[in-house]
Structure 1
Amino acid sequence: MSSSATVRTARRRTLRIAAAVLTAAAGLTLTACSGADATGAKPAGRVDSGAAAVESNGTGSSAGAQESDAQAGSGAKADAQADAKPDAKVGGTGKGSGSAQAGGGGGAGVQRCHTSGLKAAFATGGDAVPDPDASGGTTASIVLTNKGSSSCKIGGFPGVDLKSENGGERWSLARSSKAFSSITLQPGDSTDFTLNLAMTKEETGFYQPAYADVTPPNETTSLTVEWPWGTLVDQRGATHPGTFVNPIG
């Protein structure tokens, strides 16, 4: 082989080797890029998912724990709703209950006694008759009877106005300082109150009532009864008269 042929052969070997080296390098480069893309996408997706889980519950718990927490939250919400319904029901029942609104005021539906449902009369039998000779004063009783068909409640001071035969001279009696409470009258039941009386037999300085107008507590109309007794000491202008009204019961 001539020297020129030997040189060409050596040059072709050098070119093949260089080409092979370039090919191998190119293959390695492509493989590295492909691997980086695959391993870079998937872990990135998992990291994003994990970060989202941490932000959603603030504890970094797993998805299964999140589902459990969600179920627990739903259960708590359902329990809260269940607890709220009985409360609302009880409140509604309480609001519509007549006995609850009455609250110990003599029973459900018991109203106060009105003038139209009462009748009044002086008690005149036995010890009810006032003693005109009593030096320290005496008493008379006025009886109030429930003439209606339902129960009613009464208590406190009635108003009592004494008036003359022609009604021209009136005496609104003062009230005592005694304590009082209310009572319930069934149909036909009665209660009473007393009048302290300063009676007199003198021919002067007296007042002779003909009637007594009795106004039940908290009412504006009165019941008129005849005065069955004698004369009273006229103390219509006195600060502490001996004739005055006591409370019912």
Structure 2
Amino acid sequence: MPRRSRRSTTRNSRLVFPGERTASRTVLRPPLEDSMSRTTALRRTRTVVVASLVAAAAFSLTACGGGESGNDAKGSSSSAAEKGATGGGSGEDADARAGSASGGSASKSRCDSGQLEAAWANFEGGPDMEYEGRQTARVVLTNTGSSDCTMTGFPGVQLQTAGGDAWDLRRNNDKPKTVRLDAGGKVGFDLTFLASTRDDDQKFAPDRVVITPPNEEKNISLEWPYGGALLDQSGATRPGTFVGPVNTVE
């Protein structure tokens, strides 16, 4: 049998370059240089991001450290305040100094009503109830106890009429001082008043004076020895009749 000639099915192989169109497909590949540039750019981006994160972390740590320093500073201030509060406990010493200035160191025992006796200092001379101006009557408190005591402030003073009317006297603006009473010692306070000298005055005729020593509740009662009547200013905001704080007897 005659031989059939065979056609060679082998094709010559050849290189196909990017972008070159062949019979079956087009090969598209990015240039080598572009690929390298993109890789380099990506690496740079990652480097920048990492550096930013490191910087942010460092700033955060610094801020936290500053907050702790602030807390330490506040803690120091609190300690200073506590020391100041501790130092403030010297109030008793300040009272003692005030007592010393008035004749000796102040005792911690307060004078109570049960050991005090009240009397008028100027009973014989007395104020003139016909005088139109302000006058002063002085009350003396004597320590009848066997030990010393201290007193500070204003006494409560209430004037009472025979008919039962009452007038609680206002205080003046003098600053009280701590005074010390030895056994048998005396302190005094002033009662300033305006006498009623006109027929058309509104009058208040005191019969008794009820005294409450400073920081006490029990009363000491005295008769009003001067007769006459006072100008009734019991409803006034700035009356001419008032009481002063206790002080040393000169």
Question: CA shift at 1:136, angstroms?
Answer: 2.7
Matches within 5 A, 1:73-92: none
Larger proportion of helix: 1
Matches within 5 A, 1:66-215: 103=93, 105=96, 106=99, 107=105, 110-125=108-123, 129-166=126-163, 168-204=164-200, 205-215=202-212
Cα distance between partner residues in 2 of 1:174 and 1:223:
18
Cα distance between partner residues in 2 of 1:173 and 1:124:
20
- C-alpha RMSD of the superposition: 2.1
In structure 2, runs of 5+ residues without a counterpart are: 1-89, 100-104
In structure 1, runs of 5+ residues without a counterpart are: 1-99
AA at the equivalent of 1:206 = K
Specify the alignment match of 2:43 in structure 1.
none
Task: Give TM-score, length-normalised by structure 1.
Answer: 0.55
- SS in structure 2 of the partner of residue 219 of structure 1: coil
Structure 1 residues 175 and 118: alpha-carbon distance in aligned structure 2, compared to 1, 3 A threshold:
same
Specify the alignment match of 2:76 in structure 1.
none
- Which of 1 and 2 has greater Rg? 1
Residue deviations 1:22-68, cap 9 Å, x none? Answer: xxxxxxxxxxxxxxxxxxxxxxxxxxxxxxxxxxxxxxxxxxxxxxx
Residue deviations 1:171-192, cap 9 Å, x none? Answer: 0000000112011001111111
Report the identity percentage. 39
Structure 1 residues 101 and 201: alpha-carbon distance in aligned structure 2, compared to 1, 3 A threshold:
closer
Specify the alignment match of 1:218 in structure 2.
215
Structure 1 residues 189 and 108: alpha-carbon distance in aligned structure 2, compared to 1, 3 A threshold:
closer
Cα distance between partner residues in 2 of 1:131 and 1:102:
43
